[in-house]
Structure 1
C-alpha cells in the first residue's frame, strides 16, 4: 500500500545506506533517493519515493526483497503504474520498479512468468504457442504480478483460475507456494488487505490448455472490440472498481459533479 507519511530528504542520492543492528551498514548500488514517481504512473501524478530501485531480473527482485525484509524496511512494488496514485507527501521506504519480465511456456500448457511481465505480453506469448485461457487479458494494462494481487479478470474469467504455484519472498525467505497462500476472492487477495504481510511476488506458474490459434485470436479480437466500445477515448485512471451488489455503478455516478469537476459521460466503471 502507498504510505502517506512525509520524510526528510536523505543526503545520499546514488546508494541506499541502511543502519543495521550493532551499527553495521549495507549498500545497494543503483538505488537513488527522492525519485519522482509521476513518471512511472499512467496518471502521470504522485510524489517521490524516499528510495527507489529498478530491478531488471527475478534475482534482483528477490535480493532487494530479502534485504528489505531482513532489515525492517518498508518496500513497495511498482509495475507498469496503472491503477496507482502515490501520495504527494512521498512514499516512505524503498520503492522497487519491477522490470523482471521473462516468459516461458511449453506445449504441455505449463507457463512460468516473472511477475513484472506484462499481462497482455503473457497472452500473446501463450497465444503464439497455441495455449488458450488468457484471451480476456487483451486490453488489461499492467503486469502479471499486479493481476495476481487483485485477481484481475473479465468476461467471467479470473487469472487465479489458471494458477498452480507462485514464488515469493516472505520473512527474508524465497520459496514457492500454492494458490491457497494468496486467499483469492473476487478482485481480491491477501496482498490487498490493510494488514497485508510484507510479501514480494517474484514469479508465477500457470497451467493452460492447447487451443487453435485462430480461435484464440478470434475471441481476443471480440473482447477487444467490446472494450473499445465501452472505454472513453480520453485519458482516464482506468477501470478498477468492484461490482456493487444490487446496483449499477454507472447509474450511481451518472451526473455526479463538484464545481467544475464531474464524472465523465463515459465513466471508468465500464
Structure 2
C-alpha cells in the first residue's frame, strides 16, 4: 500500500499534474529496466521546485532520493518508499569562450557535442557515457583515460541546509568514483567545465573513434548500468571476472556479458534480484579465487 500517496496534494501546489506520478514504475526510469515502483516521482523544471520539494519531504518526514538519468542506478524489486526527485528537466547547456556550463540534468553526450561544435577539446572521453552532469560530478565519472576532475572548474550545489554553494575543483575533492558531493550528500545543480581550443576535425575524429570502440566492446544492445564494479587497485574488474570463468554466468534474466565481463546485463525479463544475485556471486568467486574484493559502482536503492 502506498502510504505516501496522501502527500500528493502538497506537491500539487508547486507542480503541474504532468510533473507528478504516483506509483511510478522505476523500471521505466533506469537503464537496467528492472525494479519496483516509487510512491511519488517528481520531475522539477527549476531549482525552486527542487528546494520546495525537499522542504515538503523534510517537514513531513517523507524519505526522498534525488536521481539523474538513471544510468548508474539499480532499484530493487520492492520499489522505493517515499519520493524520487528526477532532475532530467534541468538540462540547459551554455558555452562562453572555452567554458561550458551545464545544468545537472544535461546529458554528458550533449555536453560533449556542444564542446565539439565549439572546437573545444577535453570532453571527448564523455561522448559515450550515458549519464547526466549531476551524476557525473557526484561520482567523478570517467572513461578512456579521461574523467570529470580533468575538466571541471567549479560546481554549483545545494547543501544539506538547502543553501546554494559554489565549490571549486579543489573543494569538490574529486577522486576515483568519489567526491565531496557524494560524501556530504549534496545535490549538484550545475557544473562549469574549462576546455582547450582545438581543431574541430581532430576533436570529431576522436569522438568517432571512442564511439566505435564503445560499440565494439560494450554490450549496448542490452539494458545495464555500464561497468558494474569499481576498478580494484592494481587490477581490472572485467579481467578478474573473465579469469574467474564467469563470462556468460546467468541467474534468471541477468548475466555477465559475453562481450565484456565487467558488465552485468538484463537479457530480458530480468529482475533486480537476478542482477543482485549475479553481483553477489561474482564478488564471492573473485574473492575466493583471487583474494580481491569487488565493490559495485552502481548505486542501489529500494527494498526487496
TM range (shorter): 0.7 to 0.9
Gaps of 5+ in 2: 264-304
Residue of structure 2 aligned with 1:80, choices 50, 69, 89: 69
**Could you tell me how far apart the structure 2 residues matched to 1:188 and 1:177 are?**
15
CA pair 62-258 structure 1, distance change in 2 beyond 3 A: same
Match of 1:235 in 2: 222
Match of 1:263 in 2: 256
**Could you tell me how far apart the structure 2 residues matched to 1:121 and 1:233 are?**
18
**Could you tell me how far apart the structure 2 residues matched to 1:203 and 1:233 are?**
28
How many residues end up aligned between the 2 structures? 252
1:9 pairs with 2:7:
no
Match of 1:4 in 2: none
**Could you tell me how far apart the structure 2 residues matched to 1:38 and 1:178 are?**
35
Contact 1:62–1:202 under 8 Å retained in 2: no
**Could you tell me how far apart the structure 1 residues matched to 2:119 and 2:5 are?**
53
1:213 pairs with 2:200:
yes
**Could you tell me how far apart the structure 2 residues matched to 1:78 and 1:156 are?**
26
**Could you tell me how far apart the structure 1 residues matched to 2:65 and 2:209 are?**
36
Residue of structure 1 aligned with 2:40, choices 27, 43, 51: 51
**Could you tell me how far apart the structure 2 residues matched to 1:156 and 1:72 are?**
43
- Deviation string 1:91-136 (CA, Å, 9 cap, x unpaired) is 23321111211000122x1221101000000010121111111011
Which segment is superposed worse, 116-125 or 228-237?
A: 228-237
- Deviation string 1:156-195 (CA, Å, 9 cap, x unpaired) is 2111222122111111212222223332111222344xxx
Contact 2:239–2:261 under 8 Å retained in 1: no
Give the Å deviation of 1:259. Answer: 6.4
Match of 1:224 in 2: 211
- SS of equivalent to 1:167: strand
Gaps of 5+ in 1: 1-6, 18-25
More strand by share: 1
More helix by share: 2
Root mean square deviation of aligned Cα: 2.6
Residue of structure 2 aligned with 1:199, choices 175, 179, 186: 186
| TM-score normalised by the chain length of structure 2 | 0.73
Contact 2:128–2:211 under 8 Å retained in 1: yes
Contact 1:69–1:198 under 8 Å retained in 2: no
- SS of equivalent to 2:73: coil
Which segment is superposed worse, 170-179 or 116-125?
A: 170-179
**Could you tell me how far apart the structure 1 residues matched to 2:147 and 2:172 are?**
14
**Could you tell me how far apart the structure 1 residues matched to 2:67 and 2:208 are?**
29
1:111 pairs with 2:100:
yes
